[in-house]
Amino acid sequence: MPRTENSQIKALINLLDSEKGPGADVLRQELARIVKEHPRQLHEVIEQDFHSSVPAALIMALEEVCWEELVQACARFAAKINPDAEEGLAIATRFVNPAVSRDETTRELDSEARLLKPLLSTCVSAAEMCQTMSRFFYKSQGFIVLPCARDIKDVSFGRFLQKKQGSAFCMACLYAAIGNRFGLDAGVVDMAGRVLACFRPENEAPLFADPADYGKLLTLNDCKDYIFSRNLEWSEAFAAPLSSRALLRRCLGNMIFILNKLRDERRLSYLRRYMDILKN
């Protein structure tokens, strides 16, 4: 379907919202073809013509169409010895926006890195690099960490890159993805429920950036003090970066938490199947 036929996609979406019975099945089959062959064009039509109110029938149809492909994507990811973290983040993003590809996520991150690169040229330590990254993310680029995620879109990494607002977990992932592009051994840690970005410079003590506090840098002792303040016993596991599989499980776990609050059993059943794949 060429770009000049965007009107046909719009008409299909409008029909999905009103058609019932066998006719609806035919429309879903056509939607499946468009998702597979023209995902960007579909995304363009949704953003331009339905951005303020996406029809519920379209949301349900998209999720059903993309379900089997996402099952396969999760299975391929889980089967890899050392899967790429950005691949996992892109897979989780597709639950919110099925049209997003891994390449699109990578391009967004590469674009951020190109803008940041000149600012890092004068940094002489990992701490300076981390502080520069924080100023760049929060002040220059205007990223915002939401105090509370109320919708699964708020924990979608791809949407976070586009809208520049989302969860602390998304922000920690941004630190890790950009840091690794500049030679920092970067990752994400779960400090007893407090998500931090972590950096392990060679021959230096580890550093941690708190995404919920504008990237405030913390030392390992700061983290230990926090754990002790929670009346917990320190374990080195607190400072260990999450694996790629754990990052994807965390993404899905955040979505499950939100959908549980909304009592959205239909979408919860999807996510639980994803989690089962990643655990097996």
pLDDT in tens, 87-137: 999 998 888 877 778 898 999 999 999 999 999 999 999 999 999 999 999
Q: Is residue 38 part of a domain?
A: no
Region 3-10: mean pLDDT is: 73
Q: Is residue 125 part of a domain?
A: yes
Q: Are 178 and 164 in contact (CB under 8 A)?
A: no
Number of domains in the chain: 1
Region 215-224: mean pLDDT is: 97
| In the predicted structure, residue 161 carries a pLDDT above the cut 70 | yes
| In the predicted structure, residue 168 carries a pLDDT above the cut 90 | yes
Band (3; pLDDT cuts 50, 70, 90)? very low
Domain that holds residue 248: 83-280
Reading the block at residue 241, the tokens are: 């970066």
Q: Is residue 58 part of a domain?
A: no
Mean pLDDT of the residues in the chain: 88
Q: Is residue 20 part of a domain?
A: no
Q: Is residue 3 part of a domain?
A: no
Q: Is residue 76 part of a domain?
A: no
Q: Is residue 202 part of a domain?
A: yes
Q: Is residue 124 part of a domain?
A: yes
Could you give the percent of the chain with pLDDT greater than 90? Answer: 56
Task: Measure the CA angle with vertex 129, ends 124 and 134; round to 5°.
Answer: 150
